[in-house]
């Protein structure tokens, strides 16, 4: 594609800026910034978006941004005083305001095509546009919620550091017939699109939400919510939490599915990372080893990829936690080092703070984990795994009701989470702490029968049923745990779950020793 403005020509194929056919020397980063401004000339570009696109989300100073803008202006005969072509909106961002004539080059057109080729897919992290919802039938009070709810979703999705969210000013331009998925993709260059509809009758309101992959227009996820007409604003926060929780699960799952379709040599850093998550959550030795290799591959391609470092920390934690590693102390040290590296690259990513908090469990320093888990929750209040981990820590400290409250919040936020067996398991442990064996057995049975449950979860079931007096179920789960992991015993269990109260530790040890687990 060629963009002409005044005497200047910006050629994306040649990666060249010319003035009256004479090349203007430009640093690659300055060229990328100028191209970004020109391609998005119809809207304001915020500083955060510029940092994301040019610096791949790395933390940079205001001075660095100002320096690149100054260089871009100088290259096209502009300056900060005149701002004829690049205008500054103080404290917000920049916009290219010159008249631009786009010209499609032969390289950008396929045979028989008369319009530019599809925009390239963002390579580093998925992007999403949240559109205003459509109102079906008589608008009434639905007119307000059709914009208010998507606005709230944009605000909350923007907390997710792994997801690039298009600003409201751009995505809300697409309404009705304008909201065609391919048109949205072409204009905003996004991977995902979240849309919805609002319909009311005399007493209730129904909201339908749909997440689409803009590459093929396929529906990734959809859900329907109903509310009493007069209570819609009271349940609005619950709907937002439910949608955010679903997207945190559905988008990574879709990314992993797409990554599995690629041949190994074509995996980019983001695909390798998501495929690593898929194997990491299998919680078995082979899956953990494969996940670690994929995270290492992502880091080799993108050394500053904070979440890949966090994922690698998670695999080392898993190695120590489930005794996959031959040297648990070394695995613990590696988990901490990788967590620290992830925070160096992005201290505001909730996942990075989560893995830092989990490291302290391996050393039995439960109190030290709490500030990191609390920080992860503050960064993203809808982060189900942080809530679950907070509940786990509270339970180990002997605070059963607090543990139950956090696990309940996690299950509400992510009822289909890959770690849902762990959430049920923590709920079972909270009842053990509170001296409620019957309730503990009920939740432990649910945990051990959930997809993905590993041997430690089966040991929880064995303890809970033993304490409740069901010897047959206790022995059955003990045998299953021994079969799956012959080396695990009571010492391993209490190292993984370092209960603070000595009476609880004693009851668990006696039960596991009696069951010979």
Residue 1 pLDDT: 78
Angle at 280 between CA 250 and CA 333, to 5 degrees: 130
Assign 339 to helix, strand or coil. Answer: helix
pLDDT(109) > 50 = no
Distance CA 150, CA 407 (A): 27
Q: Is the pLDDT assigned to residue 119 strictly greater than 60? A: no
Neighbours of 457 (CB within 10 A): 23
Please list the helix, strand and coil fractions of the chain in percent, rounded to the nearest 5, in that order.
Answer: 55, 15, 30
Given a cut of 70, whether residue 444 has pLDDT beyond it is yes
Instruction: Report yes or no: 461 and 437 within 8 Å, Cβ to Cβ.
Output: no
Q: Which 3 state secondary structure label does DSSP give 73?
A: helix
Q: Which three-class secondary structure state does DSSP give residue 84?
A: coil
Fold of 2-108: Arc Repressor Mutant, subunit A (1.10.10)
10-19, 221-230, 501-510 — which one is most confidently predicted on average?
A: 501-510
Give mean pLDDT, residues 109-137. 61
DSSP-assigned states of every residue in 420-480: HHHHHHHHHHHHHHTT-HHHHHHHHHHHHTSTT--HHHHHHHHHHHHHHT-HHHHHHHHHH
> Range with the lowest mean pLDDT among 105-119, 235-249, 315-329?
105-119
**Cβ count within 10 A of residue 131:** 20
pLDDT for the residue numbered 139: 62
Q: Judging by beta carbons within 10 Å of its beta carbon (0-12, 13-18, 19+), is residue 94 exposed, middle or buried?
A: buried
| Beta-sheet pairing, 101-103 with 127-130 | unpaired
Q: What percentage of the chain has pLDDT greater than the value 70? A: 93
Same fold, 2-108 and 262-381: no
Residue 264 pLDDT more than 50? yes
% of the chain surpassing 90 pLDDT: 44
Compute the distance between CA of residue 144 and CA of residue 125 in angstroms, rounded to an integer: 32
- Give backbone dihedrals phi and psi of 172, rounded to 5 degrees, phi first: -80, 0
Structure token pair of residue 20? 């009256």
Confidence of residue 141 (pLDDT cuts 50, 70, 90): low
Strand partners, 421: none
Contacts of 400 (CB under 8 A, 6+ apart): 394, 430, 431, 433, 434
* Spans of all domains in the chain: 2-108, 127-260, 262-381, 410-517
CB of 274 closer than 8 Å to CB of 256: yes
Find, among 135, 137, 154, the residue nearest to 145 by Cα: 135
Hey, what's the torsion of the CAs at 490, 495, 497, 503, to 10 degrees?
60
CA separation for the pair 397, 64 (Å, rounded)? 46
Write out the CATH class of domain 262-381.
Answer: mainly alpha
Question: In CATH, which of 1.10.3470, 2.40.160, 3.30.160, 1.25.40 is domain 410-517?
Answer: 1.25.40
Half-sphere exposure of 131 (CA within 13 A, CB side): 29
CB contact at 8 A, 262 and 271: yes
Q: Cα–Cα distance between 464 and 460 in angstroms, integer? A: 6
What residues are paired with 24 via a beta bridge?
17
What pLDDT shows up at residue 57?
65
- How far are the Cα atoms of 179, 257, 274 from residue 270, in angstroms, in the given order? 28, 12, 6
The top-scoring range by mean pLDDT among 251-255, 407-411, 442-446 is 442-446
What mean pLDDT do residues 216-235 have?
82
Share the mean pLDDT of the chain: 86
Find the mean pLDDT for residues 186-199: 87
CATH code for the domain defined by 127-260: 3.40.50.10610
Q: Give 15-42 pLDDT, tens digit per residue.
A: 889 988 888 888 888 898 999 999 888 7
Distance (Å, rounded) from C-alpha 376 to C-alpha 357? 9
Which residues are 194's β-sheet partners? Answer: 130, 211
- CB burial string 341-370: b at 16+ within 10 A, e below: bbbebbeebbbbbbbbbbbbbbeeebeebb
Least confident of 116-120, 280-284, 308-312: 116-120
Query: Tens of pLDDT along 291-344?
Result: 999 999 999 988 989 999 999 999 999 999 988 898 999 999 999 999 999 999
Rounded distance, CA 237 to CA 437, Å?
35
Average pLDDT over residues 80-103: 86
- pLDDT value, residue 258: 77
CB 131, CB 174: distance < 8 Å: yes
């Amino acid at each position: 594609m060629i963009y002409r403005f005044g005497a200047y020509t910006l050629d994306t194929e040649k990666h060249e800026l010319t003035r009256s056919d004479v090349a203007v020397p430009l640093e690659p980063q300055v060229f990328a910034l100028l191209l970004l401004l020109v391609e998005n000339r119809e809207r304001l570009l915020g500083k955060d978006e510029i940092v994301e696109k040019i610096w791949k989300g790395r933390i940079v100073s205001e001075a660095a941004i100002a320096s690149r803008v100054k260089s871009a202006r100088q290259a096209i005969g502009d300056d900060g005083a005149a701002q004829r072509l690049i205008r500054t909106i103080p404290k917000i961002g920049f916009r290219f305001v010159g008249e631009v004539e786009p010209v499609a080059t032969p390289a950008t057109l396929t045979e028989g095509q008369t319009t530019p080729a599809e925009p390239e897919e963002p390579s580093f992290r998925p992007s999403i546009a949240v559109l205003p919802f459509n109102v079906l039938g008589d608008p009434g009070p639905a007119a307000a919620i059709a914009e208010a709810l998507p606005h709230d979703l944009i605000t909350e999705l923007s907390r997710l550091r792994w997801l690039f969210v298009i600003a409201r000013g751009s995505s809300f331009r697409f309404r009705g017939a304008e909201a065609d998925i391919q048109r949205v993709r072409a204009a905003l260059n996004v991977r995902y699109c979240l849309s919805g509809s609002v319909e009311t009758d005399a007493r209730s309101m129904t909201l339908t939400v749909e997440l689409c992959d803009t590459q093929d227009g396929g529906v990734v996820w959809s859900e329907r919510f109903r509310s009493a007409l007069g209570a819609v604003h009271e349940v609005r926060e619950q709907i937002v939490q439910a949608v955010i929780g679903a997207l945190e699960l559905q988008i990574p799952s879709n990314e992993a599915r797409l990554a599995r379709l690629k041949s190994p040599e074509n995996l980019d850093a983001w695909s390798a990372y998501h495929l690593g998550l898929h194997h990491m959550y299998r919680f078995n030795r082979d899956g953990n080893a494969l996940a670690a290799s994929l995270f290492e591959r992502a880091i080799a391609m993108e050394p500053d990829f904070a979440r890949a470092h966090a994922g690698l920390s998670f695999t080392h934690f898993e190695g120590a936690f489930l005794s996959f590693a031959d040297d648990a102390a070394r695995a613990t040290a590696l988990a901490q080092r990788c967590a620290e590296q992830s925070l160096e690259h992005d201290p505001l990513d909730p996942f990075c703070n989560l893995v830092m908090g989990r490291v302290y469990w391996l050393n039995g320093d439960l109190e030290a984990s709490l500030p990191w888990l609390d920080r992860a929750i503050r960064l993203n209040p809808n982060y189900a795994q942080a809530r679950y981990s907070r509940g786990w820590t509270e339970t180990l400290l002997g605070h059963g009701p607090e543990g139950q409250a956090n696990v309940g919040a996690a299950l509400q936020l992510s009822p289909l989470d890959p770690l849902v067996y762990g959430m049920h398991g923590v709920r079972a442990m909270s009842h053990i702490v509170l001296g409620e064996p019957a309730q503990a057995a009920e939740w432990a049975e649910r945990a051990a029968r959930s997809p993905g449950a590993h041997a430690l979860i089966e040991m929880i079931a064995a303890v809970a049923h033993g304490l409740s007096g069901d010897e047959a179920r206790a022995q059955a789960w003990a045998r299953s745990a021994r079969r799956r992991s012959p080396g695990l015993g009571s010492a391993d269990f209490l190292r993984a779950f370092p209960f603070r109260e000595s009476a609880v530790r004693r009851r668990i040890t006696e039960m596991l020793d009696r069951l010979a687990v």
